[in-house]
Amino acid sequence: MTIMRPPAVAGEVVLDRILFGDNQFFGVNHMSEEKARAQAMRFQTTEAVMEVLDIAYDEGIRTFMCTTHERIAEVVERVRLQPERYAGFQFFPCMPYAHKYANAVTDYGMIGALRRFLPDDGLVGTALKGGRAVARKDVDSMIEMLVDAEMSMFAGASTPVVFLQNVVVDLLLGLGFNDAFAVFARHVRDRYGAEPGFITMNLVRLLDVLDELGLENPIVCSNMNKLEFRMSGGAADYRAALADRPFRAIAMSVFASGALSPREAFEWVAESPAIESVVFGASSAGHIRGALAAADEVWPRRG
């Protein structure tokens, strides 16, 4: 039996029903490399990105769930400079943007990359040369400083939820470095007054770890769709988690990378009352309006 998730309690961020993602702006398409390349070419300018964001905003979307790609800083600046035009607009930063760090490691090596992103070079040396207890403390500090470096582009913008990207979440899960999640969550709350969020391809395993760490009712984003597209462990585990586990679910890949129509996708979402939000990306007015029309028909954003 599916259990209705209780509403957000006092102090919790109220999540919009529909969130807008940014994969299409940076050449990410899980089904077609050709489409990914075409999108990357189309969105080479900030103006092209803003044209699509303006359409989404004018259709009532107020939350942009975005990576910390360098060009997002330009988007933040546009929004910040026009507060009347973008009233109520908020960002959900998702960090880190892995390609940025991968490229830095390729160019400068692991230690060189850390030194480029951490302002205190002595911290790197201490963490590498010091004893276990000292290194552990400094690793916590490095996590906090990397978060600060990523968040710098959002200064002055509304960021009520800050996400740790799945490339890092799932790596930490595999390494067993579970305490890093607690460090991230504490720092995001204390420094930015935001709720921590986690993106994962391993939903059940992550929920187990967050439970062990005492992180109550966490915001977790994972692939969820009718076709079980990229749902690690299969639909049965996800249905069980949605029914029985205390977390705030955000569904991504609900269209299964285009294999499902918006109506099919949102009809499936409507059958899972525990899903609070859906994040999707689109690159045209027609696709945005079509998705929202389907959502409003079977999984209304309002009322």
The band of 3, judged by pLDDT with boundaries at 50, 70 and 90, is very low
* pLDDT digits 0-9 by tens, 98-130: 656 555 555 656 555 555 555 554 544 444 444
Q: Is residue 200 classed as helix, strand or coil in its secondary structure?
A: strand
Q: How far apart are CA 30 and CA 257, in angstroms?
A: 6
Whether 50 shows a pLDDT value over 60: the answer reads yes
Whether 227 shows a pLDDT value over 50: the answer reads yes
Which CATH number does the domain 20-97+147-298 belong to among 3.40.50.150, 3.20.20.100, 3.40.50.300, 3.40.50.620?
3.20.20.100
Other Cβ atoms within 10 Å of 59 Cβ, number = 15
| Domain spans of the chain, in order of start | 20-97+147-298
- In angstroms, the Cα distances linking 48 to 24, 51, 71, 186, 243 are 11, 5, 12, 36, 41
The beta strand positions in 44-89, using DSSP E, are 63-67
* pLDDT digits 0-9 by tens, 238-278: 999 999 999 999 999 999 888 899 999 999 999 989 999 99
Q: Which of 204, 185, 299, 197 is nearest to 242 (CA)?
A: 204
Residue 229 pLDDT: 83
102-128 per-residue burial string, b: 16 or more CB within 10 A, e: under 16: eebeeeeeeeebbbebbeeeebbebbe
* pLDDT digits 0-9 by tens, 88-100: 999 999 998 765 6
Q: How far apart are CA 9 and CA 249, in angstroms?
A: 15
